[in-house]
Every structure is written in structure tokens, then in C-alpha cells.
Structure 1
Amino acid sequence: MLLQFALIPVMMMVFVHAIPIEERGLKDTLVKATGKYTGKATFFHPDDSGSIGSCGRREGDHSLYVALNLPQYGNENAVSEWCFKKILIKFGDKATEATIGDACPGCKPKSLDLTPEVFEKLAPTNTGVIDISWCVIGEKGCTGGGSGKASAS
């Protein structure tokens, strides 16, 4: 009887496999649990007349808008559930708030395309591409931080 109990932990170790979160299909579940995304940020210039983004509002270089990657946004020809959500974007020790107002068909998953006004609050535009983390303000521990230094949250 004692031998049977001794074999149980050994048998369990044989059957337990460490599989990366991505391969288990849990990566999106983990993101939803933490509410934080990591990706790249680029910037775009809406046309001078104030182009209308996928969410249906005018945007320009000085708008505090971002374009959300298409895999998260959904149909770029329709208003998404993401439209007009306020987000906090962090790069290094800087943070700024913006509003989702457009879709970015060329962006990788979890990445954003920022207007120059938003991008410059994080880095000079000649940087081109930056690694960011971002979250929707008010969801899962994401609180606004305005412009300036990123908080530890």
C-alpha cells in the first residue's frame, strides 16, 4: 500500500508537461485576466482635412487618437466595440492617455498606430517604432496616468 502512494507523485510528473502559454491557447486569456497588452507603436499622419477614422470621427495630427490593430479592432469598415475607449500607453518611464478612434490594418496584433501628438508624448517621432504596453482605463487595474512619468502599476 505504501508503494502505491509513493508511485503516485512519480506518475504525475510523467504526465505533466510544461507547455508554453501560447501553445496552450491561453495567451489571450492571460491578457484578458491582466488587462495589459504589449506591442509596438508607430505613428501616422491623418490627412490635413481631418480624415474620418474607422470609428466615424475626424482625426488630425493633433488628435489624441490611436488606431488599433485590425485583429483586435475587427471589421475596419464598421464601428468596433473598442471605439472611443480611453487607453493608457506606456513607453519606458513615460505614459500618456489617448482614445481609440481608428483601425490599423498594417499593425501587428496588440500594437497601435498613434497620431504624432500622442507619439511625441512618449518619444520623438524620428524614433519611428517603440515597444509599448497599454491597457483600457478603468478595466482590470488600469488607471489613468495622464502625460508624464509612468506609474508602477
Structure 2
Amino acid sequence: MQYSKFTLMVIMTLFVLLSTFTTTEAATKVQFGKKASGKATWFNGGDAEDVACYGILQNKNVDAKDSWHIAAMRLSQFTGGVKKACFECLRVTAGSRSVIARIIDDCSSCSSGHVDLSLSAFTKLAPKKQGVVKITYEFVRCPSSGDNLKWPKSPAVKKN
């Protein structure tokens, strides 16, 4: 009987461990004009190192500027992951304020709907001290010129 209790305990432990590690989120398509809700946080753009999107270009080093309106998201939440979502643009809105930011990095610690913005982009939505803000976001075509172009010029904007 002791062996059965031990076996049962091992099976239950394995079940708990497997259920903890196998929670998967369904990947969604990158869809233009479809709004989603979530939250935004901020990082210093100049601190961007080992950037995932530049990794697919065989160059993980990018000399990001603090003034760039760039973003990081959990890229695995999208069908096609890095190759599909990288270098796309998002319109991020908080209340009546919005900003367009270009996705250049993966945020593996972010949950779905979490957009980690450069500080310059975040402060277009809320004061730095707020730290976290509720948002809606949608994929939009990246502008290729104009005063709002505040992200790396390379690679060129995708023609979706």
C-alpha cells in the first residue's frame, strides 16, 4: 500500500508541474485596424541591446536613441512570431492621447496585450511617474516620412 501512495504522489506532482509549464496562449494574427486592449510600460530606448528584430537581420546590435518611438511585445503571441510582427507599427492610445511606435524587440516577460514602450513614446500617453497605463492598440501602416517618423530608418518600412 505504501508503494501506491508514493506512486500516486509522484503522479500528482508530475501533473501539477506539467500543467504549470504547458500553459500555452493561442497565437493571433497581426491584423491591421483591429483594436486590442492591454497595458503599456516604458524603458529607456538607449538601453535596447541584443534586439530580437535586428537578430533576424543577422545584426542584434542597434544604436537606439532615447527619442525613438519604439516598442517591445511578446512576439510569440502572434502567428509567425518575430518574422511577422517585427518592424510593424502600432498606434497605442490611452484616453485621448496616442502615439505610433515601431516594434523592434521581443518582451518575453510581457503578457499578451502588454506593450513596453520607449520612454519618449510612453510620455506621449502619460507622465513617466505613472509607470503603467491602460491602453488600446492596433497595428497600423508605418509612415515612411514626415515629422512623426521617430524610429530606425533601417530596415525600410514594410509594404503590407
Tell me, what secondary structure is at the counterpart of 1:51? coil
**2:112 pairs with 96, 100, 109, which one?**
109
Q: Distance in 2 between matches of 1:132 and 1:71?
A: 20
2:51 is aligned with 1:53:
yes
Structure 1 runs of 4+ aligned residues shifted over 6 Å read none
Identify the residue that residue 126 of structure 2 maps to in structure 1. 123
Shift, 1:38, TM fit: 0.7
TM-score, normalization by structure 1: 0.60
Identify the residue that residue 98 of structure 2 maps to in structure 1. 95
What RMSD in Å do the two structures reach over aligned CA positions? Answer: 3.3
Listed one character per residue, the Cα deviations across residues 97-129 of structure 1 (whole Å, up to 9, x for unaligned) are 111111111111011000001000100110010
Shift, 1:47, TM fit: 4.7
TM-score, normalization by structure 2: 0.57
Structure 2 gap ranges (5+): 1-25, 55-61, 142-147, 149-160
Identify the residue that residue 43 of structure 2 maps to in structure 1. 44
Larger radius of gyration between Structure 1 and Structure 2: 1
Shift, 1:75, TM fit: 9.0
**Aligned AA (2:72):** A
Q: Distance in 1 between matches of 2:138 and 2:120?
A: 19
**1:67 pairs with 48, 57, 72, which one?**
72
Structure 1 gap ranges (5+): 1-25, 139-145, 147-153
**1:85 pairs with 88, 92, 97, which one?**
88
Tell me, what secondary structure is at the counterpart of 1:98? strand
Bigger strand share: 1
Tell me, what secondary structure is at the counterpart of 1:118? helix
